[in-house]
Structure 1
Amino acid sequence: MKQCFFLRICTYVMLFSFFTSYAQENKFQHLKSLGGIEEYNYKPNDLQVLLYQDQAAPVVTVQITYHVGSKHEVPGNTGSTHLLEHLMFKGTPKYNPETTTVTNVLQNIGANLNATTWNDRTNYYETIPSDYLELALEVEADRMRNALLLPEDKEAEMTVVRNEFEQGENNPNSILSKEIWATAFMAHPYHHSTIGWKSDIENAPNEKLREFYDTYYWPNNATLSIIGDFEKEEVFELVDKYFSKISKAPKDFPQPYTEEPEQTGPRQITVKKPGQTGVVMTAFKVPGRMHKDHATLGVLNMILSNGASSILNKKFTDNGKALYAYSQLSNFKDHNLMSIGLGLAPDFEHHEAKEELLALVDTIKAKGVAKEDINRVVSATVASNKMSRDGSFAIAGALNEAIAVGDWTDYINRIEKLKQVTADDVQRVAKKYLNIDQSTTGFFIPKNKTGNNEQQEAQAEAFQESSNNELYYRNLNTVRKEQTAATNLNFTPLKKDNPFKYKRQQVSGIDLVTVNTAVDDFITVTGSFNAGESVAKKSNLASITAAMLSKGTSTKDKYEFSEALEKMGTNLSFYSGDFKTGFYFKTLNDNANSVIQLLTEALFNPAFEEEELELIKKQYVGNLKNRLDDPSTLAQIELAQTIYPEDHPNYAKSIEEQIEEIESITLKDVKAFHKSQYLNAPIQTVIVGDVNETEIVNALKKNFPASTKKATSLTYPSKSTKSKKEVSKTIQVPEKPSASLVIAQYTGLTKNDPDYLAMKVGTYALGGGFAGRLMQEVRDKEGLTYGIYANQAGNTFTDGYWLVNASFNPDLIEKGEASSFREINNWIEEGITREELQNKKTNIIGSFKVSLSTTGGMANTILQYLQEGKDPSYIATYPKEIEKLSLKEVNSAIKKYIKPGQFITIKSGSIKE
């Protein structure tokens, strides 16, 4: 009888579970599937749901895209979408500073989270260990309709956003792009930049932000994307659990109806601001992303600017007229610009550059482009598209832009559109759209072209490669590994095993580590050897030697070398730092042997031609001159010179000294450095992905010359002998709207020191990100800065230092300095709490897990361990070492290494005396 009763109960439970599951799934109407992505309509409120399962790693990205961007703003409230995005992190009745904030609760599990605002959309995302999927969905549902949007939060965040605006004003390329868009579009709301005009940022009424939120933040104006490691049934259950409480919007969503009037002639603007390099940019009006010609314009854009064989590179960069050249095609819904830009060498005048650029455009219109060039760029795009599906975050970012223009399937279909493009198509769109009467040209003319001035080379490179998409919303790179404060999770995570398996072996003298992951058909390869600036006799010699490697080999000129890689969709990069020279590439398995052959040709048989060396030197000097008026760079150089003696690897020479030494470098110097440091050098290499070990090992044996030396880790035994007295310095840089503050101390720690991890956790609590004390107090409560962080630096192979760095409006830097020191001194005196310690541990371990979810993330992590003399198994050991740290160890380390009265404080910018 008992058995029958038990069976009856089990039957009831199974039936209840079945009908509950059926009821939930019945609320989700399947609309279509394409490329592994499934689209559903959540019928209770018309929330669009996109699902893409990728169980290569135990990580999932949750992203919600709202179909509202800066184009929905009107004069007077420009920047509202972006300011509202910031306030969405300020809290709800459940998540707020009095309980626990959104950033705290997510970062406590190691989430990589952020939000971005752009012309057509706003998105919020978190990449998390998949155990915590429920938490992410609960957070996003909560803030969809429950954001507090308090006036006091708006006032504090306004100055944060204004500081973000001011940072952009330090960058000539950003300034010029903003001015060109404002001139090209006179009526359409693409006229104003996403960050808004400064006066609107400062004066936007809180009521307007609330009105904007109540108008657009509804489920039927949103797309929820869930990408990565999840079970579909669980997703249906959780979406229904949290989003069913939210109704559709009570009204229709207002849309901009202003049409851009016809442009009847070319336009030109000039910007004169401090800088060192002139810039010319010409932009042509082209149609929206979903127009049939946009893909063809994309092919033309790539032919113009992708690789050594690109038209712009051959026309302007290779002959030394331009320090850099780029073409960009924006990807907006309504209208776009195709922009062609040149960073001018000193002897290339603006008007001459403009005329040559327009003459080049006329040539393309008259003669078209070669079929071979189309095949080259399309083949590269097809291969790189497949390899770009490396981790849920990368997929989410690309999918987000297709969602923004109204058709997520363009994320999949775009490749097929590119494959259909012909040479006739390219010439037709060039004639139709590259029309001088539909163009806007901008000149950036540097003022005060002398003295201490810089704009980082990295900024120019980011501008060239990322299109405009990353100029006016929150920086995706500076807030990746944020941390957290106290939280009380109401979810019990599932514990999923993900054992780390690798193979380490010696192949032709290479210390080789291979890791097989669940990705299909591609691998990521990274490697390095001891050949950095610390062993070079002249400044930047190691870096210039590495740059020469891609400029041709003994069997291929630089165009043949570049084209061979491009056809395989492979970007083989070489780099050199203070201690190491390295290489990195991602390639399809079918091409692995060919890429390895090209890699060895470049490493061991480079062409080393005099003409290429002179061109690279000119570019290096030009880029260094661009660094002569950047407050942050000048502060960092001053810091390194204050901490270290001249013979120390961490010492930094002045920009003027570096330029002088670069100009003295000869081809003989390059060849001598290559011979002494590259040949017979033991190499450490890591390969991660869909690894065919037999083929890889055979390719390495066949192509790499055997080394008789064994790879060793580097250590620098000497310690800085400089005085530990307190130092305060101010560097004046004229007409810079954003100033830099650095507060530092020498610690002498290396990454292998016993106290390193304790200081890492303690420093993380102070300033590791959004949930660090510095961000929560100096940014969030006081609104003094866009970003303030604490780190340990210079400690991979040498005695390092600890620092806090931040940007401030020059009028607020004194107040920012005082607030920073208040938090630093409290941190030293009181240490961190037990609650903070546990939160930082879970945050560091969780974010570490997320960082290993891509082939590149895992490959770079393992290579870093090899360089430090650790075994790859340290991937499993590292979380355990973090977990076992005690509160006493962390707080003792803080007091041991950071001493009141020994701070180095450097302020750099347009600072009032």
Structure 2
Amino acid sequence: MRISGQASVVFLSVAVLLGASPPSLAQTGTPASPAPAAQLRLPAGTTFVTELEGIREYRLANGLKVLLFPDATKQTVTINTTYLVGSRQEGGGETGMAHLLEHMVFKGTPTHPNIPAEFKTRGVDFNGTTSYDRTNYFMTMPATDDNLRWGLGLEADRMVNSFIAKKDLDSEMTVVRNEFEAGENDPGSVLLKQVQSVAYDWHPYGNATIGNRSDVENVPIEKLQAFYKRFYQPDNAVLLLAGRFDPQLALDTVAATFGKLAKPTRVLDREYTVEPPQEGERSVTVRRVGDEQILMSAYHVPSALHPDYAAVDVMTDLLGDTPSGRLHKALVEGGKATAVGGFARLRPGPTLTLFYAFLPKDEAVGPVRDTFLKTIEDFASTAPTQADVDRIKALNERGFENIVANPGQLGVQLSEFMALGDWRTFFFLRDAVQKVTPADVQRVARAYLRPVNRTLGQFVPSERNESVAIPTAPGVQDVLKGYTGRAAVAAGETLDPDPLALEARVRRETLGGLKVATLPYRSRGAKVELTLNLKFGNENALRGRTTAAGFVGEMLERGSSGLSRQDLQDRLARLKSTMNVSGSATGATVRVSSDRQNLPEVLRLMTTVLRQPAWNAQEFEQLRREAVSGVEAGRNDPETLASLAFSRHFMPAGAKRGDVRYVPTLDEQLADLRALTLADVRKFYEDFWGGNVAFAGVVGDFDAPAVTAQLSQALSGWTSKTPYERVKAVNTQPAPANVTVEVPDKANAVFLAGLSFPLTDLSPDYPALVVANYVLGGGSLSSRLADRLRQKEGLSYGVESGFSADPRDPDALVQAYAIYNPVNGAKLEQGFREEVSRAVSGGFTDAEVAAAKQGLLQARRLARTGDATLANALATQGDLGRTFRTSADFDAKFAALTTAQVNAALKKYVDPSKFSLFKAGTFKK
């Protein structure tokens, strides 16, 4: 149950993300100061149920559960609606229907006929997800009273009034089928689906959520409508609001919108299928084209509500964790596998814990399989130490704390625990893990990690009838009886994401070669985010050394003076912090996430990591094997091959192998990796790494002078041996190409299109091109390309366009991306060309441009509510010589654009006939 934060990606350039002013919306404005929870006036029909760690639960008369989690720290609000229905509730011939319905609910209602367009206009970060036991929809947006009322009204409306129309099913079915095909490209996903199917005889947990292809293609609209009407009702849903909002206004609005929905008269069927005990080893073999071997082993274990589950979860991590896990020690460090792992499914019913191992295609599988199974099933013979268990507890605790510190992420994370029967199980299981002992782990390993309870890649009959009976879990109310949780995380102050307001709080200093920008404020949970960028090298000195450069950062994370890789992980877990070091040929980035109390020690640890590498030969060989295996796997991956062909086409003309801008082929990458030595990597570090050109950004709750002084001391005297000269971006405008890469046995194909021209992000035409891209294919599901290729024709699950321009050098790129069934290739290419030509020749409408400007500005504002994003922005600003005033200038330019300017810029730079196209997939019958 390792919990980690979720990240939302906005496809905008770094410069665009640096700031935003809110667009003008009717009745917008900062929410009123929230009333204390104890003083809330309960609307008619609303009752208070319970409170735990800052979250309050209410119940409407129609059965809707309402959770309020106010937090004024960020100026965003998240609305998450969870329906307690997933693939588990699907009947015969209906597999995949819950997921298909998730897509259909975005198709609109009579009151909201174009939901994607509304999301785009308000700059909403949104999604829907379907699992085995629940379906959820979430939206995160700037916190205004108007957005709150609009969002709640929309969710209440589509709960019971969604179209679920035949015409929408006809187009969306092919989109979902394309998503199914994308999963079929991944050997690991295919194997997991097969193992899961074989592990269950009768329970619907044996079915993949994406469903059976024929069911998805042929489900009658009447069945989908009946499924919707049965399960999308207030008594089967949980509504959660998290972030900055007025609780009284929220409760009143929920009562006014959801409260008017009638309580259903239907009664949901009682689920009575019980999976019988497994009576012998099971096996499944998948044979497909690929370049890696995978082993996967599944074992039946109790529900997440059973007392054994917390110990099962710790046991799974003790086996599957990297680098401390027993599988890693036995297989990866033993040179038999390139990667291993394990995870326990979180389910209200009897579930599975699974383990896996990746190994090169030329490795003899028999000995590896024997070691793999022996390591798992002999676990109970050697009890874990208290230190082993404490390590896993620390990692889990850190993950939980990071989620709790972000109400928006917690709101979405709680959906899985709502499916257990009560959202409070999130906190209950957090605490249950901390009570697990080594004896508990050894006991559950002995009970469940047995051959008779295993599903692997073969079947072996047993000499006698054996089974592992999975005990029945108590009811959720019995589990939670008397449970009080912990004190709620301390809330912080509000940080205004307006760029000028942010700039007013920033403190910038130059200390030798280090430029530091700090933005201290009282954050939720006293969290701190830090980014440190190092710059080094020059074009001539870097020639032929890019492969070694890519290894340095990861080697630094794998051991320092007196500290092994495991020691570093343990230290960071105890400090409730994370640290990531990444490097390339021209620089390195260190990212730290910590809190006020632990940041000083983490920075001391960072100094050791950066300046005193251990250069462990065994870790290097593991890393090199992983890299080789990854490149080999790319030989049969359409995404990899299309992207590689695209990148090589647009690399600078005349670039030779060894040049820092050169893009090597897969064969060249493999040759370089196989020739690489630890001495090469160490020599690159000694020649180039140093702190004499550095830029840092720090955001959160910390002592700014102390942190600045500590950063300066960390880099003091650490100087690169090689003079630094920035490697400039070089724009190339190759002749248009139309390239097809044949990849055998792949159900899904990848389409890429690109057009380059000289332009920087300070060009007068840059803002207009950003907006033009937003209308064409950026922003959300609502765009010219998405409306045509996904919404109308159902050719692609994922289609979008992007535009980027270098901040210093005249190098810009317009590109488009889509996935699709290979048989639809001609239609997709035709649709792309026609939509781009229509945009260039006919231009965009005033309404499209106005909506794009508004959505773009909202998205930029939303992006600035994340502390890690702000820390990255501050470090980047130091390098570019910019501030948040630059961001404010960008916003002003976006807001002032006219439709004529947007259309003129698009026509000036984008010639539809000059796009280069790249397609990878199985096109030959």
TM range (shorter): 0.7 to 0.9
Distance 1:711 1:594 in 2: 32
| Letter aligned with residue 861 of structure 1 | A
Q: 1:304 to 1:533 in 2, by over 3 A?
A: farther
* 1:660-687 deviation line (CA, Å, top 9, x unaligned): 1122222332122212321244221211
CA contact (8 A) 2:737 2:916 kept: yes
Moved more, 120-129 or 311-320: 311-320
Q: 1:156 to 1:317 in 2, by over 3 A?
A: same
Counterpart secondary structure, 2:107: coil
Question: How far apart are 1:507 and its partner, in Å?
Answer: 4.4
Alignment correspondent of 2:794: 783
Alignment correspondent of 1:118: 131
Matches within 5 A, 1:489-528: 499-500=501-502, 501-507=505-511, 509-517=513-521, 518-528=523-533
Q: Structure 1 residue 879 and structure 2 residue 897: aligned?
A: no
CA contact (8 A) 1:309 1:563 kept: no
Which runs of 5 or more structure 2 residues have no equivalent in the other structure? 1-34, 459-495
Distance 1:555 1:506 in 2: 32
* 1:707-729 deviation line (CA, Å, top 9, x unaligned): 67999994616432x54x33211
Alignment correspondent of 2:435: 420
CA contact (8 A) 1:524 1:587 kept: yes
Question: How far apart are 1:102 and its partner, in Å?
Answer: 1.1
| Letter aligned with residue 413 of structure 1 | F
Q: 1:756 to 1:313 in 2, by over 3 A?
A: farther
Alignment correspondent of 2:424: 409
Moved more, 634-643 or 852-861: 852-861
Matches within 5 A, 1:366-385: 366-385=381-400
Alignment correspondent of 2:772: 762
Alignment correspondent of 2:700: 689
| Letter aligned with residue 883 of structure 2 | D
1:32 pairs with one of 37, 44, 50: 50
Q: 1:69 to 1:255 in 2, by over 3 A?
A: farther
Alignment correspondent of 1:306: 321
Alignment correspondent of 2:25: none
Alignment correspondent of 1:75: 92
CA contact (8 A) 2:531 2:590 kept: yes
Q: 1:497 to 1:903 in 2, by over 3 A?
A: closer
Q: Structure 1 residue 355 and structure 2 residue 370: aligned?
A: yes
What RMSD, in angstroms, separates the aligned Cα atoms of the two structures? 2.5
1:47 pairs with one of 60, 64, 70: 64
Question: How far apart are 1:272 and its partner, in Å?
Answer: 0.7
* 1:586-608 deviation line (CA, Å, top 9, x unaligned): 11322212211221212122112
Distance 1:750 1:299 in 2: 51
Alignment correspondent of 2:266: 251
Distance 2:73 2:201 in 1: 47
Q: 1:579 to 1:899 in 2, by over 3 A?
A: farther
Counterpart secondary structure, 2:912: coil
Matches within 5 A, 1:440-451: 440-442=455-457
Distance 1:223 1:429 in 2: 33
Q: 1:23 to 1:870 in 2, by over 3 A?
A: closer
Distance 2:577 2:329 in 1: 20
CA contact (8 A) 1:621 1:659 kept: yes
Alignment correspondent of 1:478: none
Alignment correspondent of 1:464: none
CA contact (8 A) 1:505 1:512 kept: yes
Moved more, 118-127 or 794-803: 794-803
Counterpart secondary structure, 1:737: coil
Q: 1:631 to 1:870 in 2, by over 3 A?
A: same
Alignment correspondent of 1:3: none
2:194 pairs with one of 154, 179, 188: 179
Alignment correspondent of 2:642: 635
2:749 pairs with one of 731, 736, 739: 739
1:386 pairs with one of 401, 407, 425: 401
CA contact (8 A) 1:376 1:566 kept: yes
Counterpart secondary structure, 2:534: strand
Number of aligned residues: 837
CA contact (8 A) 1:387 1:587 kept: no
Distance 2:725 2:105 in 1: 46
Distance 2:85 2:332 in 1: 39
Q: 1:347 to 1:531 in 2, by over 3 A?
A: farther
Distance 1:848 1:600 in 2: 34
Q: Structure 1 residue 57 and structure 2 residue 57: aligned?
A: no
| Letter aligned with residue 293 of structure 1 | D
Question: How far apart are 1:23 and its partner, in Å?
Answer: 7.4
Q: 1:712 to 1:68 in 2, by over 3 A?
A: farther
Q: 1:867 to 1:509 in 2, by over 3 A?
A: closer
Distance 1:212 1:511 in 2: 58
| Letter aligned with residue 112 of structure 2 | Y
Moved more, 295-304 or 109-118: 295-304
Matches within 5 A, 1:235-246: 235-246=250-261
Question: How far apart are 1:178 and its partner, in Å?
Answer: 0.6
Distance 1:718 1:356 in 2: 51
1:616 pairs with one of 619, 623, 640: 623
Counterpart secondary structure, 2:557: coil
Counterpart secondary structure, 2:285: strand
Question: How far apart are 1:764 and its partner, in Å?
Answer: 1.3
Q: Structure 1 residue 906 and structure 2 residue 913: aligned?
A: no
The two structures have a TM-score, normalised by structure 1, of 0.88
| Letter aligned with residue 760 of structure 1 | V
Distance 1:318 1:753 in 2: 52
Distance 1:536 1:872 in 2: 36
CA contact (8 A) 1:533 1:541 kept: no
Question: How far apart are 1:854 and its partner, in Å?
Answer: 2.4
Distance 1:803 1:578 in 2: 25
Moved more, 562-571 or 204-213: 562-571
Alignment correspondent of 1:894: 906
Q: Structure 1 residue 575 and structure 2 residue 582: aligned?
A: yes
* 1:229-281 deviation line (CA, Å, top 9, x unaligned): 01111011111111122111121112432111111011110001111000001
2:737 pairs with one of 698, 704, 727: 727
Question: How far apart are 1:118 and its partner, in Å?
Answer: 0.4
Alignment correspondent of 1:129: 142
Question: How far apart are 1:72 and its partner, in Å?
Answer: 0.1
Q: 1:834 to 1:867 in 2, by over 3 A?
A: farther
* 1:285-307 deviation line (CA, Å, top 9, x unaligned): 11111111111112222222334
Distance 1:404 1:797 in 2: 50
CA contact (8 A) 1:380 1:568 kept: no
CA contact (8 A) 1:515 1:691 kept: no
* 1:297-322 deviation line (CA, Å, top 9, x unaligned): 12222222334223222222223221
Alignment correspondent of 2:116: 103
Alignment correspondent of 1:558: 565
Distance 1:912 1:347 in 2: 27
Q: 1:244 to 1:337 in 2, by over 3 A?
A: same
Distance 1:870 1:197 in 2: 52
2:672 pairs with one of 661, 669, 673: 661
Question: How far apart are 1:413 and its partner, in Å?
Answer: 2.1
CA contact (8 A) 1:713 1:869 kept: no
CA contact (8 A) 1:283 1:441 kept: yes
Moved more, 665-674 or 629-638: 665-674
Distance 1:374 1:233 in 2: 44
Q: 1:169 to 1:616 in 2, by over 3 A?
A: same
Identity %: 28
Question: How far apart are 1:365 and its partner, in Å?
Answer: 0.7
| Letter aligned with residue 68 of structure 1 | V
